[in-house]
Amino acid sequence: MILHTVNKPAAWNKCEGLIDTSDVVLLLEDGVYLALESDTQCFAISADIDARGLRGKIKDNVSLIDYDQFVELTLRADKVCAWF
């Protein structure tokens, strides 16, 4: 499993076609704006969602996690690929 971290909306165009069904996507920093429009099942950092006033506005396919859970995802992943 590859953990794809996306920290800017523009980075989504670079990685979207490279994400396998067994991979995990994590939205962080400004990448959490993708939680308003993307249909991909993914995670987002709750602190980044709150910092941008997006709580209650994100799509149902986005699960919120904290930084401890982010670390757990990195430990489970075979590789981590950062998209920015």
Q: CATH code at 67?
A: 3.40.1260.10
Q: What is the dihedral of CA 12, 70, 35, 19, to 10 degrees?
A: 40
Helix (H) or strand (E) holding 68: helix 67-76
| 18 three-state secondary structure | helix
pLDDT at 4: 98
What is the mean pLDDT of the segment spanning 23-38?
97
Q: Which domain holds residue 61?
A: 2-83
Q: pLDDT tens digits, residue range 42-54?
A: 999 999 999 999 9
- DSSP string spanning 29-42? GGGGGGGGT--S-E
Count of domains for the chain:
1
